[in-house]
Chain A
């Protein structure tokens, strides 16, 4: 008899209806939260910040408009309109005010904002001038750091302008005892305290703040209970009226008390999930091991007679709600995190804390839900180990074959020891889940600060060629003129010197931001669900969590390897070129015209400046500007020389083709980043740990990087994550896998990201699925950490560019997440199309 129920369970018609409602209009900016928050802050001037945060949270929850959407079974919406978003002025606001007029028309993640709301926000923002985390963080940073940020060596934008998020709270605790249980815990803790304790004042203030938040959350759910009853009374459809009555009963019970069945547990989960995202604007609030903490309630309800179909419909409804949340980012970040993604990572399968396989029926039902709802949220992942049930892996592969870009596959055999090397206990490490894109941690105990900054590994190399100076400004260190460097070792050391320097600035930036959050935006609500905040009497932001990390992510490892290897071979071994030749060629972009996409952007900037200076521009003028911008005017002789140079570079072996010496070299290159990063510590008492993944920043940050010695042209994308550079891995998927697994994935314990793109034919039939699973397992046997796939044909993507309306629901894997292809910026679309399409032969 099979151990699991592995069959697909069809979706109910309700799900299609709810999905249609989600997408019927453009997402909007709503202002209720910002107004309520600001009003509350004005009443609490001078009080402890933790108290002010709690009171503001309470005031928002008591007064923000609530809504129950048509036919939904799980309720609780952060905004009146679907997929809209609230505003969080306490973190930063200047960017939003500056972008009011372009929000609706920008290419990546547009939002509608009404004129009235612009006015309201304009008023609100007056209060916040000088009071945001972003402003405080800036004031803590050194000038060198700010210069490096301005020159895009690294980008700490995520937490610089927004909340932190990136957490998986202890959902199981709330499901079990509700906020009433938390209140009792807090009271018990208070009973152990004495007024004369050294830490009494702050601890007491924190605990009081937690009490305010818990009570506010309970009252909030009761507002929904009342609304559901009112709607039920007015409802003419008796079936819906009964549903609304049931919703009211649920909201009366949870999250105040423990859930008694599956439906209550799901409703309780949802309140927690959406309220964390109302308290702060941080994304990657990840549900984690949903199949594990929900399972006891599933069993109870099944025992009481709930059918599998009923359970599936409820899970599908939760998936819809996860897509109802949204976040508006500044234009640059929107490109880096494109696709309206909130990165709510939910993971199925894997081991329990005792090391036994924990796959259950719900693991399969989460796959069903992802297939049924077929939207970018949750970011769906599976854990794979040597004891994973084969049926589970095959079912996961079937989901991959749909082309949705889910699941991402994670390797227990690497991640568990990697986490233990960072100080987690064996039991905690075995119980890991993934945050956001690819970042592993233990739920309910960790403040991982996982997306701490994007670090573009190519930029320090540019600084070597520029001797630390760019646009007439000192950005990096003086490592000497490359023309004077006599050995590869000297060149390599210069890179390391620049890189180490920028990493120290990155740490300065992150620690400045870290302090700013703990001083201005501690989060009492979220903190009450992370150990050991209550015991320590400290918020997560002040170091209340058991495990504390800061994880900045490097990317461009493939280009860096290829560039260094080309220099090593062509300059120092074959003697065909000098470093001076490379300096000149990269400065001249190898004689090539500028990338069209980038040229258009630059043209736009130039024209805007001209227009601002009062010039009237004709269509012709714009064309002329474009021509000047795009055209490379270096001499024909030079062009010929560069063209030969590119050919010679092409001949040099590249990362991604299973060439042992190149792959071993890549491992060394990655260490320049990963080993340096882990030397540092953060203000919460935790350490730094490196990740190697780009989200989707390899495109916008590549667009800020000049030509490089690997033959990469200026402003084109840098390789994503640990994947080979697009189009350079030509020996097939197993060769790519071997190269990528040659990197040290254990030391990059904040996660690595390996993207592969398959044509659907490679996964055809049962054999296709079996071989696909074998490929994943083979990569994992070789100690790769993560893998994800896009399964769509090039033609499909091209067609989607031409006919976006036909493909509104086409989901592709971007980086650590999937997004709707048509909502991505054109350049990111191109990058996805150009990633090597691996086919079976």
Chain B
């Protein structure tokens, strides 16, 4: 079987994405995630199962099985814009590490046709799995949500040991690594918590950039649409002032900080 016929499960492909990696990009959202972050804005991404979600009175099926060739055909459509902007394909999720055969085949397929690759990922997997991705990956956008392992578990259902360990290894690889932190009031938005993440990021080999992504409520009605309760309903998004203060913290560690992707 050619790797192009490899099947995988996605829930969306979004073109003209300008906030997840350099340039104009097409994001492929893979379904399934080992974490259950309380603030997750794509709750329909979490389960690997194909689901029904009702939004604005319309019920739609979330999740479909596609081949690598089918995805690449869609990705190919915006080649001219990637070329002009330095963009390409970004894998997101869910967590792409949960579908290694499919995801690595996708990345390989993109590289074969000279399309730049990036992946948004928590890094929660055995490093032997991650290694398979790095060969075809130009940019790893890695989420570091918290340095405290207990708090990490409390808000995401998983400990962060593996994540932090993997970050060090990815940093030493040929793939460029950017650390991204969702800023969630009540979870990690204090100066001290952000400082700890920034300190860790700056200790990684070759890591120069750290992005702070302000929590937003875009996902709220999706929880209802899936028949679930949002666990962070009462949280207000962080203010602009708070974000710029945290940005200063990041910059103080010698990192090139940025608000948003």
Contacts and interface: CB of A to CB of B under 8 A. Distances in A.
Interface string A134-147: 00000000000000
B15 A778 contact: no
A732 interface: yes
B88 to A, nearest CB: 12
A840 B16 CA distance: 6
Nearest to B78: A734
A730 to B, nearest CB: 11
Q: Which of the four size classes fits the interface of chain A?
A: 20 to 34
B77 to A, nearest CB: 6
Given A770-B85, A775-B24, A782 B80 contact: yes
B84 interface: yes
B228 to A, nearest CB: 23
B247 to A, nearest CB: 13
B55 interface: no
A738 B19 contact: no
B77 A658 contact: yes
A840 B18 contact: yes
Contacts of A18: none
A734, A762, A838, most chain B CB atoms within 10 A: A734
B84 A841 contact: no
A774 B85 contact: yes
Interface in B1-27: 14-19, 23-24, 27
A425 interface: no
Nearest to B26: A734
B84 A781 contact: yes
Interface in A140-197: none
B162 to A, nearest CB: 30
Interface in B58-87: 77-78, 80-81, 83-85, 87
B80 to A, nearest CB: 4
Contacts of A735: 15-16, 77
A838 B16 CA distance: 10
15 contacts: A658-B77, A732-B14, A732-B16, A734-B15, A734-B77, A735-B77, A774-B81, A774-B87, A778-B83, A778-B84, A778-B85, A781-B80, A838-B16, A840-B16, A841-B18
Contact of A775 (B27, B77, B81): B81
A768 B18 CA distance: 8
A735 B14 CA distance: 11
B24 A738 contact: no
A738 B77 contact: yes
A777 interface: yes
A841 B85 CA distance: 16
B77 A771 contact: no
A774 B17 contact: no
B16 A777 contact: no
Contacts of A778: 24, 78, 80-81, 83-85
Contacts of B80: 778, 781-782
Interface of A: 658, 731-735, 737-738, 762, 767-768, 770-771, 773-775, 777-778, 781-782, 838, 840-841
A775 B19 CA distance: 15
Contacts of B18: 762, 767-768, 771, 840-841
A324 to B, nearest CB: 40
Nearest to B13: A731
Contacts of A770: 23, 85
Contacts of A777: 84
A355 to B, nearest CB: 22
B182 to A, nearest CB: 17
A771 B23 contact: yes
A734 B85 contact: no
Interface of B: 14-19, 23-24, 27, 77-78, 80-81, 83-85, 87
B139 to A, nearest CB: 15
Contact of B85 (A738, A771, A838): A771
B59 to A, nearest CB: 15
A610 B101 CA distance: 76
Contacts of A734: 15-16, 24, 77-78, 81
Contact of A731 (B15, B17, B19, B23): B15
Contacts of A737: 81
Nearest to A776: B84
B77 A774 contact: no
Contacts of B17: 840-841
Q: Give the 5 A-B residue pairs with the shortest CB-CB distance, closest first.
A: A774-B85, A774-B84, A778-B81, A732-B16, A840-B18
A597 to B, nearest CB: 26
A761 to B, nearest CB: 10
A774 B23 contact: yes
A410 to B, nearest CB: 17
B15, B16, B19, B77, most chain A CB atoms within 10 A: B16
A771 B24 contact: yes
A774 B14 contact: no
A778 B16 CA distance: 12
Contacts of B15: 731-732, 734-735
A697 B19 CA distance: 37
A285 to B, nearest CB: 35
Contacts of B77: 658, 734-735, 738
A658 B26 CA distance: 14
A732, A762, A771, A838, most chain B CB atoms within 10 A: A771
A781 B78 CA distance: 12
B76 to A, nearest CB: 11
A783 to B, nearest CB: 11
A732, A738, A838, A841, most chain B CB atoms within 10 A: A841
B78 to A, nearest CB: 5
Given A768-B18, A838-B16, A841-B19, 5 more contacts: A732-B16, A734-B24, A775-B24, A778-B80, A778-B81
Contacts of A762: 18
A169 to B, nearest CB: 37
A658, A737, A774, A781, most chain B CB atoms within 10 A: A774
Contacts of A774: 23-24, 81, 84-85, 87
Contacts of A840: 16-19
A733 B85 contact: no
A775 B25 CA distance: 11
B44 to A, nearest CB: 16
A409 to B, nearest CB: 13
A734 B78 CA distance: 7
Nearest to B81: A778
Contacts of A658: 77
A388 to B, nearest CB: 12
